Chain A
């Protein structure tokens, strides 16, 4: 458990923490809506990776519960991407750009 490698939970969690931090960085610093969307996907990916890793390294019940939870994370990410694209379309129609600093309203 202590060493880093394919059979160590800590290595998967380290990658997940990196993904989460990169996602937070993108969400907080990007001015463009697509950049924020990319950051959100990274955070979702980190959550799914953690679910799968914890499911693999559960001590007593090596079943696919963690992977099933990760599938639901993917489903939520897909739904979020679809709605976000619709909203981006609306923002583009009203302000001809998707700069979040300039967007003030969604009314057409």
Chain B
């Protein structure tokens, strides 16, 4: 009973936070609601037996990416959303697009679930395994064996992203003030 209550709390946090982050006008509130959604998804990871992934979700997403987004709200001249109002045709088109993408996703999931059940019937196995090892050790074993090349590629991607971010920021830095020439200083 408590497990069910916790599960639905996490699911509701994820869904309500996501919908709020997509719709509220205030950007700061949107970022905070994104944090609520991320924490809800981390709770769902716990129910999936993915304890290490839940820790990664909290540390990287909530502790890293969310802080970056909150920091980026400082760049906006209209954090409260008073000026940049979305025109209603764009709102209608976006809502229809989101609805259409959800319908397509649900249909695809129905096909996948039907195929999975068919596969279960053919193999005569239950669909839900009892135990799954979601510890860091098992994920580390996978990362150093069958996922070795993607692991290296991810490291390379992070390095490139870091260098690219620094290079982009360097390019847009204000030029340093030139020291005044003595003649100009006398004139000025």
Beyond A6-B4, A86-B168, is A62–B132 a contact (Cβ under 8 Å)?
Answer: yes
The 5 closest A-B pairs by CB, nearest first: A62-B129, A29-B94, A28-B94, A79-B161, A86-B168
> C-beta contact mask, A39-55 vs B, less than 8 Å → 1, else 0?
10110010011001101
* A contact patch SS: helix
Contacts of A6 in B (CB 8 A): 3-4, 7, 47
- The complex places the Cα of A71 from the Cα of B55 at a distance, in Å, of 11
- Measured CB to CB, the nearest residue on chain A to B28 is A34
Q: Which of B48, B60, B117, B132 contacts A12 (CB 8 A)?
A: B48
Taking a contact as CB atoms under 8 Å apart, the answer to whether B27 and A34 are in contact is yes
A-B contact number at CB 8 A = 268
- Measured CB to CB, the nearest residue on chain A to B85 is A31
Q: How large is the interface on A (under 10, 10 to 19, 20 to 34, 35 or more residues)?
A: 35 or more
Interface residues of B in 76-106 (CB under 8 A from A): 76-78, 81, 84, 86, 90-91, 93-95, 97-99, 101-102, 105-106
Taking a contact as CB atoms under 8 Å apart, the answer to whether A25 and B23 are in contact is yes
- The complex places the Cα of A87 from the Cα of B11 at a distance, in Å, of 33
Q: Which of B21, B129, B131 contacts A26 (CB 8 A)?
A: B21
Contacts of B139 in A (CB 8 A): 64, 67-68, 71
Taking a contact as CB atoms under 8 Å apart, the answer to whether B165 and A19 are in contact is no
Q: Which of A15, A25, A28, A71 contacts B56 (CB 8 A)?
A: A71
- The complex places the Cα of A72 from the Cα of B157 at a distance, in Å, of 11
Q: Which of A18, A52, A60, A64 contacts B133 (CB 8 A)?
A: A64
Q: Which of B19, B57, B172 contacts A108 (CB 8 A)?
A: B172
Taking a contact as CB atoms under 8 Å apart, the answer to whether B78 and A97 are in contact is yes
5 CB contacts below 8 A, A to B, read A28-B93, A38-B69, A41-B38, A41-B69, A98-B75
